[in-house]
Structure 1
Amino acid sequence: MEDLTIVLPTINEAGNVGPLIHALYEQFGKTPVMVVDGGSRDDTVNEATQAGGRVIENLNGYAASLMQGITESGTTWVLVMDADNSHRAADAIKLWEAREGVDLVVGSRLVKGGGSSGSAFRRFLSGTLAGMFATFARLPARDVSSGFRLYRRELFIDAQPGAKFFEVQPTLLAHAKLKGAKVKEVGIFYHPRNAGKSKNRIIRYGVAFIAAMFRLRRQLRRGGANAKKAG
């Protein structure tokens, strides 16, 4: 697919990234797959390369890896997904098919057709984050922490998230809102990782998400006020 690049941020995903790339090729044909690696110490880079992915290195955190993938892709659309097989290629094609008339498609656990086989605590956390952001920031998607997304590149290459970790997800939703972007959620199912250990640090990332929520609330209020003045 000429208008699409698939971006996989990775760190220590040997045993996961190779099978995922093969599964993506089965769904999308020889669509470019860009693996942005954060300094893996296992066989991730070799596995990704052998599977046909283009590997680049970024040691500045998840948010920087995601943004590098978006800016360097050079295609109209950029599909970003986790490389631990919690996001599946069969769901990725759903996001691609939902792109008509929108600027951002979010793979959501919280809408019809979506769900998660993770722990009850993680499901509770996702729902709680969604409720908090809906109340305080009013972002244009319910599953604010989902990293399974299809971006229209031109709307996001100038984004300056000011984030380091996974709080980049709601930050980019706020960017989309300020840009007047059209956002759609598509139900996807979140699976447990196949191999390796999770990089999620619940307390650290939870604090970062809450800080981002209040920062985005202020940012969106300023954006709304500026829009009224311009009008």
Structure 2
Amino acid sequence: MSVSSSSPMVTGLSVVIPAYDELLNLRELLPEIKRVTQQLQNFSTEILVVLPSIAEPEEIQEIKDFGATVIMRQPTDSFGDALRSGFAAVSESSEFVLVMDADYSHNPLAIPRLLAASSGAHVVVASRYTHGGTTANSLLLKIMSRLLNLAYSIVLGINCRDISTNYKLYRRSDLKNIVLNCKDFDIVEEILFKVKSIHGHSFVIREVPDHFYERKFGVTKRQLGPFIISYFRTLVRLKISSKKK
């Protein structure tokens, strides 16, 4: 009598990385993501790098040579369109979508811990502000970030200390069922709010402590003044929309 053994189920993971003039960082980040994800048991991983229209052919080819898929932002080069374009390109076989920054401020070594915390959760956050998390930001940026996260948590009723980080693990099924409108970095908060709105009181979010590093190369694309204004404008808009439901 022969004994048949079933193969373990493979779970799809899509890593979405919006990038704008970040080739120097991607040269170090992409191999490390690949190294970490290849060690995952029973996961099949795709890496999607979302580039602006100004990306040079040489940059595109070099990123492909690292084993990543290149997606071009549509219809504009905004950060919001980068995430929308990346989400639209995610493989239908993926259960999870992980979003990371391209500047190497997010440590790929956190990926296994995020996945390990995903059972029963709708969103898992690589958190600077939960117990054990840290950040390399200046004192001023830490204070501003803390105040921003506190405001979003209280006003929108999201039990999370680090709402504003882009380093989060989502379920593809949730991202398919939300419509995102923000153009800039405030889309990060919009995603979380709208995923929470889908599930209501059953929404489960977990925070995994992580360290936020300073970027390795280049300068940040975030301008502090417009950044703050857009975030609080979005906070008001999301609060108003929640009252209409």
- Tell me the TM-score normalized by structure 2: 0.85
- Assess if the C-alpha contact under 8 Å between 2:178 and 2:195 holds in 1: no
Residue 114 of structure 2 is matched in structure 1 by 95
Residue 83 of structure 2 is matched in structure 1 by 66
Q: Which residues in structure 2 correspond to 1:9-48 (within 5 Å)? A: 9-29=18-38, 31-41=45-55, 44-48=59-63
> Aligned equivalents of 2:49 and 2:132: distance in 1?
28
Letter in 2 for 1:189: H
User: Which consecutive aligned stretches of 4+ in structure 1 deviate over 3 angstroms post-superposition?
Assistant: 39-44
Gaps of 5+ in 1: 224-231
Cα deviation digits, residues 167-205 of structure 1 (max 9, x gap): 011111111221113211111110000111111111111
- Assess if the C-alpha contact under 8 Å between 1:63 and 1:164 holds in 2: yes
> Aligned equivalents of 1:186 and 1:221: distance in 2?
30
Q: What is the percent sequence identity of the aligned residues? A: 24
Q: Give the one of 202, 212, 219 matched to 1:190.
A: 212
Whether 1:206 aligns to 2:221 is no
Q: How many residues align?
A: 223
> Aligned equivalents of 1:52 and 1:108: distance in 2?
28
Higher CA-based Rg:
2
Q: Which residues in structure 2 correspond to 1:207-222 (within 5 Å)? A: 207-222=229-244
Whether 1:8 aligns to 2:35 is no
Alpha-carbon offset, residue 2 of structure 1? 4.2
Gaps of 5+ in 2: 1-9, 39-43
Whether 1:82 aligns to 2:101 is yes
Letter in 1 for 2:215: R
Q: Which residues in structure 2 correspond to 1:114-125 (within 5 Å)? A: 114-125=133-144
* Structure 1 stretch displaced more, 117-126 or 144-153: 117-126
Letter in 2 for 1:51: F
